[in-house]
Structure 1
Amino acid sequence: MVPAALHFLLKVPSALSLRASLRRSLHRSSQGYPVCNSQSSKNYEAIRQQYRSEVPEYFNFASDVLDRWTEMEKEGKRPKNPALWWVNGDGEEVRWSFEELGVLSRKVANILSDACGLQRGDRVILILPRVPEWWLVNVACMRTGTVLIPGTQQLTAKDILHRLQKSKAKCIITDDSVAPGVDSVGPECQSLKFKLLVSKGHREGWLNLKELLKHASSDHRCLPTKHQEPMAIYFTSGTTGSPKMTEHSHSSYGIGLTFSGSYKFRSLRHCVSAGEPINPEVMGEWKEHTGLDIYEGYGQTETVLVCGNFKGMKIKPGSMGKPCPGYDVKIIDETSNILPPGKEGDIAIRVKPTRPFCLFTCYTDEPEKTEATIRGNFYVTGDRGIMDEDGYFWFVGRADDVINSAGYRIGPFEVESALVEHPAVVEAAVISSPDPIRGEVVKAFVVLTPEYVSHDPEKMMNELQDHVRKVTAPYKYPRKMEFVQQLPKTISGKIRRNELRQKEWKKA
Structure 2
Amino acid sequence: MFTKEEYASYEDLCERYKPECPANFNFAYDVLDKMDPAKLALVHVDDAGNRREFTFGFFQEASCRLADALAKKGVKKGDRVMLVLYRRMEYWTVMLALHRLGAVPIPSPSLLTKKDITERVNYAGISAIICEDSIAERVNEAKGGCPGLKLFVQVDGEPGEGWVGYEPLLASGSPEFPRTEASPGGDDPLVIFFSSGTTGLPKMVLHNHKYAASHYTTGALWHDLEEGDLHLTVSDTGWGKSVWGKFYGQWMAGAVIFVWDFRGKFEPAELLRIVAENKITTFCAPPTIYRFLVREDLGKYDLSALRHCTTAGELLNDSVFHAWEKAFGMPIYEGYGQTETTLQVATFKFMKPKPGSIGKPVPGWEIKLMDEEGKEVPQGEEGEICIRIDKPVLGLFDSYMDEPDKTACVKCDGWYHTGDKAWADEDGFLWFMGRTDDLIKSSGYRIGPFEVESALVAHDAVIEAAVTGLPDEVRGQLVKATVVLAPGYEPSEELTKQLQAFVRELTAPYKYPRVIDYVSELPKTISGKIKRKEIREADLAKMAK
Both proteins in one fold, TM over 0.5? yes
Give matches, 1:132-171, under 5 Å: 132-171=89-128
TM-score, structure 1 normalization = 0.87
1:109 matched to 2:109: no
The aligned amino acid for 2:63 is: S
Instruction: Note closer, same or farther for the CA distance 1:375–1:387 as it changes in structure 2 (3 Å cut).
Output: farther
State the Cα deviation string for residues 6-48 of structure 1 (Å, max 9, x = none). Answer: xxxxxxxxxxxx723xxxxxxxxxxxxxxxx51x323222222
1:469 matched to 2:519: no
Q: CA deviation at 1:366?
A: 1.2
How high is the sequence identity, in percent, across the aligned residues? Answer: 44
State the Cα deviation string for residues 291-342 of structure 1 (Å, max 9, x = none). Answer: 1100011111111111111111011110000111110112111111111210
Aligned to 2:2: 19
Aligned to 1:195: 152
Contact 1:336 1:375 in 2 (8 A): no
Instruction: Note closer, same or farther for the CA distance 1:464–1:375 as it changes in structure 2 (3 Å cut).
Output: farther
Contact 2:456 2:499 in 1 (8 A): yes
Aligned to 1:177: 134
Aligned to 2:385: 347
The aligned amino acid for 2:215 is: L
Q: CA deviation at 1:49?
A: 1.7
State the Cα deviation string for residues 63-98 of structure 1 (Å, max 9, x = none). Answer: 11111224xx6xxxxxx4123333434465544433
Q: Following the alignment from structure 1 to structure 2, what is the Cα–Cα distance between the partners of residues 162 and 304?
A: 27
Give matches, 1:14-53, under 5 Å: 19-20=2-3, 38=5, 40-53=6-19
Aligned to 1:9: none
Q: Following the alignment from structure 1 to structure 2, what is the Cα–Cα distance between the partners of residues 226 and 467?
A: 55
Aligned to 1:442: 479
1:417 matched to 2:375: no
Contact 1:125 1:151 in 2 (8 A): yes
Q: Following the alignment from structure 1 to structure 2, what is the Cα–Cα distance between the partners of residues 414 and 434?
A: 20
Q: Following the alignment from structure 1 to structure 2, what is the Cα–Cα distance between the partners of residues 383 and 495?
A: 15
Q: CA deviation at 1:375?
A: 4.7
State the Cα deviation string for residues 423-467 of structure 1 (Å, max 9, x = none). Answer: 2212111111111122222111111223221x5x22222222222
Residue 376 (structure 2) aligned to one of 338, 342, 363: 338
The aligned amino acid for 1:260 is: T
Aligned to 1:255: 213
Contact 1:228 1:250 in 2 (8 A): yes
Instruction: Note closer, same or farther for the CA distance 1:340–1:505 as it changes in structure 2 (3 Å cut).
Output: same
Which blocks of at least 5 consecutive residues in structure 1 are unaligned?
1-17, 21-36, 74-79
Q: CA deviation at 1:422?
A: 1.6
Q: CA deviation at 1:55?
A: 3.5
Instruction: Note closer, same or farther for the CA distance 1:99–1:452 as it changes in structure 2 (3 Å cut).
Output: closer
State the Cα deviation string for residues 97-134 of structure 1 (Å, max 9, x = none). Answer: 3333212111100121112x111110011111122221
Contact 2:217 2:343 in 1 (8 A): no
Aligned residue pairs, count: 461
1:480 matched to 2:463: no
The aligned amino acid for 1:153 is: S
Aligned-residue CA RMSD (Å): 1.8
Q: CA deviation at 1:155?
A: 2.5
Residue 527 (structure 2) aligned to one of 476, 481, 492: 492
Q: Secondary structure at the match of 2:385?
A: strand
Q: Secondary structure at the match of 1:417?
A: helix
Contact 1:432 1:442 in 2 (8 A): yes
Instruction: Note closer, same or farther for the CA distance 1:272–1:239 as it changes in structure 2 (3 Å cut).
Output: farther
Q: Secondary structure at the match of 1:136?
A: helix
Which blocks of at least 5 consecutive residues in structure 2 are unaligned?
231-280, 282-304
Structure 1 runs of 4+ off > 6 angstroms? none
Q: Following the alignment from structure 1 to structure 2, what is the Cα–Cα distance between the partners of residues 434 and 69?
A: 58
Aligned to 1:297: 335
Give matches, 1:211-360, under 5 Å: 211-222=168-179, 223-239=182-198, 242-252=201-211, 254-261=212-219, 262=223, 263=225, 264-265=229-230, 266=281, 267-352=305-390, 354-360=391-397
TM-score, structure 2 normalization = 0.81
Q: Secondary structure at the match of 1:304?
A: coil
Q: Following the alignment from structure 2 to structure 1, what is the Cα–Cα distance between the partners of residues 22 and 123?
A: 31
Contact 1:342 1:387 in 2 (8 A): yes
